[in-house]
Amino acid sequence: MANGTNGGTAQKQDGGMMPLFYKKPTPLDAKTHTTLALKKNFGLGFTRNVNAVPVNLIELPQICHYYPIAFSPDTTGTPVAIMGLRDNENLFVTAKGEWEEDAYIPAYIRRYPFIFSEMPGSDQLSLCIDMDNSVVEDNGEQKFFDADGKPSQLSQNALEFCKSYHAAAQHTIEFGKAIAEAGILVDRQAEIAIGGGKRINFSGFRIIDEAKLADLDDKIFLEWRKKGWLPFIYAHLFSGAQWQRLTRLLNKRMENN
């Protein structure tokens, strides 16, 4: 399925590298995938082994109530939601693949197993599905195409969601790059006290330094205000309170194991 929106993909698949969670994203095709369907209730277990996911700008006011927001250590300054304090551990998903009750689920996760990819030799974006046996099946109830070969309601909804996600991702790229170039991001590591007198060192992320933000050139600050970015910066700053939530969730998990 193709979408006529021009522009680059939010998640490129260059040099064999795949976006987080995806194993074999494949463009949906009415002829090839006539009987292919999405498995019902495949759950969120696919997120179990990650402790951070990318988030879009427009999500930050919601994200900050549940997760600490950090920025990637590279030049992109990608905002991420921190979901765990140890490697390969998401504290928000249960052993049954269910999310922590009442916690907001980032759009990157809700989008899976759909994703946009760039069509070879074209600016057109194509709707893809991750061809993994855990999420797709043949002749299931939730088919991607109807008997006439037209996209099902499921596929249409997925296309609209991916369109919105892609647009939000473009704004996020601009924001992250500007934040990184402004020189207000600093490397941080957190020392978290957990049960039994133990401590965990969490590093490899950046945050906005409030002193550097206060000293930001007025011209840049006013430009960011005009772009509507200030609420998102404050959402990041407020999100620091959520480190306590992660500590609480980790202690709870350690008690139950």
Quick: pLDDT tens for 164-208: 999 999 999 999 999 999 999 999 887 887 777 788 888 889 999
Residue at 140: amino acid letter = G
Question: The tokens of 170 are what?
Answer: 């473009």
Question: The tokens of 224 are what?
Answer: 């960011």
Total-model pTM: 0.89
- Helix, strand, coil percentages in the chain from 3-state DSSP, rounded to 5: 35, 20, 45
pLDDT tens for the chain, residues 1 to 257: 544 332 223 334 344 578 999 999 999 999 999 999 999 988 999 999 999 999 999 999 999 999 999 999 888 999 999 999 999 999 999 988 999 999 999 999 999 999 998 655 656 789 999 999 999 999 999 999 999 999 999 999 999 999 999 999 999 999 999 999 999 999 988 788 777 778 888 888 999 999 999 999 999 999 999 999 999 999 999 999 999 999 999 999 888 87
Residue range of the domain that includes 93: 2-256
Report the distance separating Cα 138 and Cα 127, nearest Å.
Answer: 19
Q: Where are the beta strands (DSSP E) in the chain?
A: 2-3, 25-27, 36-38, 52-54, 69-71, 79-82, 114-118, 125-130, 136-138, 142-143, 185-193, 199-208
- Structural domain count, the chain: 1
DSSP letter assigned to residue 141: S
